[in-house]
Amino acid sequence: MDMQKALDWLTDVFTVQGRTLTLNDTRMSVAEWDSLGVLMLLSRLEEDHGIVVSADNMAKVESVKEICDLLQNHSAFQG
């Protein structure tokens, strides 16, 4: 997986301004990772990558790294 593409994609999904997310970012360090941000993430995961995740499972996700792992497990950003 192209990690930089994944981080850029997540930065866009959460509409983070002024910086790019990193693997060290967490739900607590990203102000835009709120209830609306989660809805956008769920929508874009399905729309852009065909990945369906329940809201309950997404509520357990606490870090950008976990989202990147999910993307990698579903072969997103390959090729």
Encode pLDDT of 6-20 as tens digits: 999 999 999 999 999
Domain extents in the chain:
3-73
User: Of the candidates 51, 15, 49, which has an alpha carbon nearest to the alpha carbon of residue 33?
Assistant: 15
The least confident of 8-12, 63-67, 75-79 is 75-79
Question: What does the pLDDT read at residue 77?
Answer: 82
CATH dotted code for 3-73: 1.10.1200.10
Phi-psi region of 18 (alpha: psi -120 to 50; beta: other; left: phi over 0): left
